[in-house]
Amino acid sequence: MLIIEGPDNIGKTTLCHKLVRFLGEVGPWQYRHSKKPPETWDYPESYFEHMSRFMVMDRFHMSEIVYSHARGDKHQLQPWAYKLIDAMLRQFGGFTVVLSSTDESLATNYEAREQNYDARINSIANLTFKEIGECGKHHNIHCDVDYHYQCQTGVWPAEDPNLIDSILKGYLWRWLNVYKTLAGETDVLRKIRKRAVEIIKL
């Protein structure tokens, strides 16, 4: 499961769809967008139901703690629950990419697109994602971060071929190590493994 985290309007969705197109040449990967959990959401159990080994996820549990902090709300994930979700994700080949941006770039993108949060909240979220990306921690919660990308002004993440290459190779390497031995492996999975190895070696 490949997870792309970051503030609004940084280019997560475009990046996710581009990654799905590349991964679609390897296996049956799909895109899913994780929205704000409803009131009926069970923490942390409901997150387990949305895990898949063939999924590119636009936001996941990291956004819960980041945007709760940005809004000034108390987040629903305790450190033990966050750690448990991270541990479960590793069983699905979880690979988390965190995007952050300069204030200038984020402000430019923010003005040009539809907003989910006001600029102040999004700015706080951006700084929090940057903090997590750099140190893998938010207050007393340790967060699994596999790749942190600091966006530059005028360059969208999906337009950076080095970023695409680094994510694909890092994620597929993780995926291969998690799924190197599968009971009842099918021809499809063998073909996926073979293609993944070819991409990593490029």
pLDDT 10s digits, 11-23: 999 999 999 999 9
pLDDT digits (tens, 9 = 90+) for 68-85: 999 999 888 999 999 999
The pLDDT value given to residue 182: 53
The pLDDT value given to residue 147: 97
> What is the residue-wise DSSP string for 166-197?
HHHHHHHHHHHHHTSS-TT--HHHHHHHHHHH
Question: What size, in residues, is the chain?
Answer: 202
Half-sphere exposure of 185 (CA within 13 A, CB side): 10
pLDDT band at 197 (very low <50, low <70, confident <90, very high): confident
* Res 104 pLDDT > 80: no
- Record the pTM: 0.91
> What is the residue-wise DSSP string for 95-146?
EEEEEEE-HHHHHHHHHHS--SS-HHHHHHHHHHHHHHHHHSEETTEE---S
pLDDT band at 26 (very low <50, low <70, confident <90, very high): confident
User: Which architecture does CATH list for 2-201?
Assistant: 3-Layer(aba) Sandwich (3.40)
> Across all residues in the chain, what is the average pLDDT?
88
Rounded to whole angstroms, how far apart are CA atoms 160 and 85?
Answer: 30
State the average pLDDT over residues 128-135. 96
pLDDT band at 187 (very low <50, low <70, confident <90, very high): confident
